[in-house]
Amino acid sequence: MEQSRDIRPQEPLSYTIKPPHEGGVTSMEPFLEKFFPKVNNRMKEDKDISNYCKFDSQLLTLFTSSLYLAGLIASFFSSSVTRSFGRKPSMLAGGAAFLVGAALNGAAFNIYMLIFGRVLLGIGVGFTNQKYRGAISNGFQFSLGLGFLAANLTNYGSQKITGGWGWRVSLAMAALPASVLTLGALFLPETPNSIIQQNNDHEKAKRTLQRIRGTNDVQTELDDLIAASDISKTMKNPYRNILRRNYRPQFVMSIAIPFFQIVTGINVIGFYAPIIFRTIGLGESASLMSSVITGVVGSSTTLIAMLVVDKVGRRFLLILGGVVMFFAQMTVGGVMAAKLGDHGGLSKAYGYAVLAMISVFIAGFGLSWGPLGFLIPSEIFPLEIRSAGQSISVAVNFLFTFLVGQTFLSMLCRFKSGIFFFFGGWAAVMTGFVYLLLPETKNIPIEQMERIWREDWFWKRIVGDNEDVISKMDGA
């Protein structure tokens, strides 16, 4: 019997740009003095304010989170631009927005210019936030880790520039990857899939595919792309389809997985790690170097995940990572509750213990929810709901990144050390969710992915265990 082939459209490679690591910039005293003088004065002069509240400022968090709110809005328009004009114009638009945003941030002389630059960076992220497909999704998270590491190194180096303008270098450096993307897009041909979808020019698509593959024998793949394009054009109302009962598992996962990925607390560690380290008493330079260390840990463990994910499976890594993150968060919360009061700082030994546990937390994330939070949504959606599912996942990721980023400093002020117990609790919840409700997707072809839901102990009660049951339930 002929083996079934997946004829779904090729997903675009990820060409995301990530912004400079703003958590490092917001801990630099010259930056705070210029744009957030109240925070700077509170940190240096107000001896009565709690350690946990020194950085509490909605305007300061808006500087960080405005990028993700703009990215959320832009992501809804980017897919339409890509479908109408192709991936190349979408990449150019995102790169141009990023270049202008980086220039504005580097040259900013007031808070309005600074935040408007961040909004443009967010538009760039929204337009360039395309997904990898399959196991390559792990490369997406690995690239993010390398980007954060490079940003941390930049922040650490620019902090040492005399004259108090190092923060301008750090923010303006976002123009470097944006320039690479924009210039590269000028020479990048359209994908065969886009050529077929936009112009229906099969011969041009074939020539492009031959150049990509390095062989003239591409007719079978071209036929698959044409068939997939024809099928996709017949699909109407994908958002309505994903709400149908037989797609209930995919709909739940499209929301739950990106939600859990954010409420691990990884983004607040990434955004505000230097602030957290300064809260416990480390100096400015030591705080930035600590962020470099955690960046190395995150990149290394994501690389390990890439190597083992198809051997040990998704569920095992998610559960292992959840347990590690729970342990690390609870330990950090316990140390800070016992040893860090509202004033003063931790001893050097306890400070290094907190740094070690945050590194353990980042290792757990890099091994599990970091890469797999992108991988699993990319492989569970059938063609008829793929665009809707991916859009929902991206939107949920942006939305909760914005919400968590905007509220973290206020939560830190009010919850104090309890903030780590809060995120540790979510680590426990998501681990239980995976254990009970997420079946293993390792080595399952995309065209057979729906079978795992019909065979799962829980989801088969909703979608049924055969097509007849699905039809009856969906029509009910």
What does the alpha-carbon distance between residue 308 and residue 460 come to, in Å, rounded to a whole number? 29
Q: What is the pLDDT of residues 177-217, one digit of tens each?
A: 777 777 877 777 777 777 777 777 888 888 888 887 788 88
Residue 120 structure tokens: 């443009």
Residue, of 317 and 58, whose pLDDT is higher = 317
Asked if residue 197 is part of any domain, the answer here is no
Q: What is the pLDDT of residues 355-408, one digit of tens each?
A: 889 889 999 999 999 889 888 887 888 767 777 888 888 889 889 988 988 888
What does the alpha-carbon distance between residue 242 and residue 286 come to, in Å, rounded to a whole number? 48
Look at residue 258 in the predicted model and tell me its pLDDT: 93
User: Taking the CB of residue 217, how many other CB atoms lie within 10 A of it?
Assistant: 8
pTM of the full predicted structure? 0.76
Asked if residue 268 is part of any domain, the answer here is yes
Asked if residue 205 is part of any domain, the answer here is no
Look at residue 432 in the predicted model and tell me its pLDDT: 97
Number of H helices, E strands in the chain: 24, 0
Would you place residue 50 in the very low, low, confident or very high pLDDT band (cuts 50, 70, 90)? confident
Asked if residue 316 is part of any domain, the answer here is yes
Q: What is the pLDDT of residues 96-149, one digit of tens each?
A: 888 888 888 888 888 888 889 888 888 887 777 654 443 445 555 555 656 666
Look at residue 249 in the predicted model and tell me its pLDDT: 94
CA nearest to 225, candidates 455, 7, 426, 72? 7
Look at residue 274 in the predicted model and tell me its pLDDT: 67
Asked if residue 125 is part of any domain, the answer here is yes
What does the alpha-carbon distance between residue 128 and residue 136 come to, in Å, rounded to a whole number? 17
What does the alpha-carbon distance between residue 411 and residue 409 come to, in Å, rounded to a whole number? 5
Number of separate domains in the chain: 1
The residue type found at 28 is: M
Q: How far is CA 406 from the centre of its chain?
A: 16
Q: Summarize the confidence of residues 157-164 as an average pLDDT.
A: 68
Structural domain for 63, as ranges: 22-188+235-475
Asked if residue 11 is part of any domain, the answer here is no
Q: What is the CATH number of the domain that holds 453?
A: 1.20.1250.20
Q: What is the pLDDT of residues 427-461, one digit of tens each?
A: 999 999 999 999 998 888 766 788 899 999 999 99
Asked if residue 225 is part of any domain, the answer here is no
Asked if residue 333 is part of any domain, the answer here is yes
Largest CA distance in the chain: 77
Q: Summarize the confidence of residues 14-30 as an average pLDDT.
A: 56
Q: What is the pLDDT of residues 214-254, one digit of tens each?
A: 888 888 878 877 876 776 666 667 778 888 898 999 999 99
